[in-house]
């Protein structure tokens, strides 16, 4: 059985069941996990290499692959029992993030659950980008390779504020061991529900 993100493993059963949205689905581990729990999953992924793996694992499962940028995917109100945004929202500018967050919140059914994980401003990559004099395109937001990509590092409490309209179920900011030069990554995790 695939290993889902920790917060998803803890909270998927709090969702009412039905449809799930996996933003930045990668090669599909979380999408497969959600399908195994009975969800019909819309898996959004634009990276061609990841899409190959995602298309392979969806066979015979209730997963619909959407090979699009998450900013162009049409979000319909009152559709999803669960929205997963694991390690994807930090690839948006804040000016894109806030309007998208409102659409994501509205796309949840009443009682639907959002699970989001992002990088935070105490991540060692932010220090490295500043040390390399990479210009900021927006606050704590840097252009990275390829040229149309960027990364945003969330300030303390910023993820919580972005989804303030939802009922918070869990929130944490922490450091996790990772294979980086510093030996860790810093991030925030939010689990929140659209009020019933």
Higher pLDDT, 108 or 196: 108
What was the pLDDT predicted at 179?
76
Model confidence over 16-26: pLDDT tens digits?
999 999 999 99
Q: What confidence category does residue 2 fall into, taking pLDDT thresholds of 50, 70 and 90? A: low
Instruction: Give just the sign of the alpha carbon dihedral 5, 9, 11, 12.
Output: positive
- Cβ count within 10 A of residue 96: 17
- DSSP code at position 135: P
**20 phi and psi angles, rounded to 5 deg:** -130, 150
User: Which segments of the chain does DSSP mark as H helices, in order?
Assistant: 6-11, 29-36, 48-58, 94-107, 124-131, 158-162
Q: In angstroms, how far apart are the furthest CA atoms of the chain? A: 48
What was the pLDDT predicted at 189?
97
Model confidence over 126-185: pLDDT tens digits?
999 999 999 899 999 999 876 678 999 999 999 999 999 999 999 999 998 777 777 888
Model confidence over 70-128: pLDDT tens digits?
999 999 999 999 999 999 999 999 999 999 999 999 999 999 999 999 999 999 999 99
Higher pLDDT, 106 or 3: 106
Extract the tokens encoding 196.
Answer: 């019933």
Extract the tokens encoding 120.
Answer: 């935070």
């Amino acid at each position: 059985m695939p290993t889902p993100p920790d917060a998803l493993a803890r909270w998927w059963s709090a969702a009412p069941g039905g449809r799930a949205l996996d933003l930045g689905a990668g090669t599909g581990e979380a999408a497969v996990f959600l399908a195994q729990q009975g969800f019909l999953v819309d898996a959004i992924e634009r990276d061609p290499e990841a899409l190959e793996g995602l298309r392979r694992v969806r066979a015979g499962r209730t997963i619909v692959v959407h090979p699009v940028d998450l900013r162009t995917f049409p979000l319909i109100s009152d559709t999803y029992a669960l929205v997963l945004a694991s390690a994807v929202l930090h690839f948006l500018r804040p000016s894109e993030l806030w309007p998208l967050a409102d659409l994501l919140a509205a796309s949840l059914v009443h009682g639907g659950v959002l699970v989001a994980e992002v990088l935070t401003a105490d991540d060692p990559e932010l220090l490295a980008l500043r040390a390399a004099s990479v210009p900021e395109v927006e606050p704590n937001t840097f252009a990275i390779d390829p040229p149309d990509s960027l990364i945003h590092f969330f300030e303390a409490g910023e993820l919580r504020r972005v989804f303030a309209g939802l009922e918070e179920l869990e929130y944490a900011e922490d450091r996790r061991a990772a294979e980086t030069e510093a030996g860790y990554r810093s991030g925030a995790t939010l689990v929140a529900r659209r009020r019933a």
